[in-house]
Amino acid sequence: MSGDIVGAWDVSLSDGVYRTEFEHGTTTGKRVIYINGKEVLRRDWMFKLVGKETFLVGNTDTKATISIEAITGFSYEYTLEINGKSLQTFLDNRAKVSKTWVLKLGGVDYRIVLEKDTMEVWCNGQKIETMGEFTENGSETHFAVENHECCIKATSSGRKRNGIVHSLLVDGIRIEEAIDSFGRDHIANMNYQQHLANSAAIRAEIQRFESVHPNIYSIYELLERVEDPLLQNQIREHVIAIEGKGNMGVGN
């Protein structure tokens, strides 16, 4: 890379974080794009100094576009869009629909990502097999990293804004952001093939369960408008019963 780098952005996706750098020669119009240090696009001569360059990022072929706009004289502004949205908007949306944990196991760094809308789990850029089940308090998604037993628990926060809370446990230890090491290794004692056969149906049921929660919270808010305390409590008891049955789901 030369000294003509004019913009750099970090794009966080399910399969990893991609460092995107843009090189722009304002004399020749040269445009070069690098992703994690690797050149993915080059145009050595461009008569038009402004415009757009579109390329793909990551294993999921996410669409990215760099826009070049003239400000004044020979000054230019460079912006990156992902899937038609500004990078900040895209990252804000990603924060809502995904959850990421970074940890170290056996001296190796791991980045685990949960896609909330599909319940898919990614580890260091690879989508991994998972097994889902309902519990008394919500749902659990089980998988393994090397020979470590991992579980993502989904439980209701009891608050509309927070919705479902997802937490990662590795070998029974809850992971916040990063951790250097863990205790003894554990090997999962479960019938793997049997759980795999039902995993797709279970994930679909978990998605349905999570989609119902915003409506339940709305009912709780509407209950505050019911003036009759007795009627209010009766309706609340019915809603709580419905919510509880949603937790039963598959496997009971």
What b/e readout covers 199-225, taking b as 16+ CB neighbours within 10 angstroms?
A: beebbebbeebbeebeeebeeeeeeee
Sign of CA dihedral 25, 30, 33, 37: negative
DSSP lists the bridge partners of residue 153 as 140, 167
What b-and-e string marks burial along 16-40, b requiring 16 or more CB atoms within 10 Å of the CB? bebebbbbbbeeebbbbbbbeeeee
Are 30 and 24 in contact, with CB atoms under 8 Å apart? yes
Write the CB contacts of 82 (distance below 8 Å, at least 6 apart in sequence).
11, 57, 62, 63, 64, 90
What are the backbone dihedrals phi and psi of residue 243, each rounded to the nearest 5 degrees, phi first? -60, -40
Distance CA 163, CA 134 (A): 17
Q: Of 71, 82, 58, 65, nearest to 22 (Cα)?
A: 65
User: 132, 206 in Cβ contact below 8 A?
Assistant: yes
* Residue whose C-alpha is closest to residue 25's, from 57, 8, 48: 48
- Location of each CATH 2.40.128.180 domain in the chain: 5-83, 98-248
Closest to 35 in 3D by CA, of 22, 12, 19, 24:
19
Q: What is the pTM of this model?
A: 0.62
Residue 153: what pLDDT? 93
Alpha carbon of 115 to those of 59, 237, 244: distances in Å? 15, 32, 24
* CA distances from residue 36 to 1, 16, 18, 63, 197 in whole angstroms, order as listed: 12, 11, 6, 16, 38
Q: Assign domain 5-83 to its CATH architecture.
A: Beta Barrel (2.40)
Supply the Cα-derived Rg of the chain in whole angstroms. 24
* Predicted local distance difference test score (pLDDT) of residue 34: 97
Cα–Cα dist 67/48, whole Å? 13
Q: Give the per-residue pLDDT at 227.
A: 84
pLDDT of residue 55: 98
Q: Which CATH number fits domain 98-248: 2.60.40.2220, 1.10.274.30, 1.10.486.10, 2.40.128.180?
A: 2.40.128.180
Hunting for tokens 């209010």 — which residue is that?
232
Q: What pLDDT was estimated at residue 242?
A: 67
Per-residue pLDDT of the chain (252 residues; tens, 9 = 90+): 666 789 999 999 999 999 999 999 877 789 999 999 999 999 988 888 899 999 999 998 999 999 999 887 668 899 999 999 999 999 889 888 899 999 889 899 999 999 988 999 999 999 999 999 998 888 999 999 988 999 999 988 766 666 788 999 999 999 984 333 222 222 232 333 334 334 444 454 555 556 666 777 678 778 888 888 888 888 878 777 765 554 444 444
Task: Measure the CA–CA gap between 189 and 21, rounded to whole angstroms.
Answer: 46
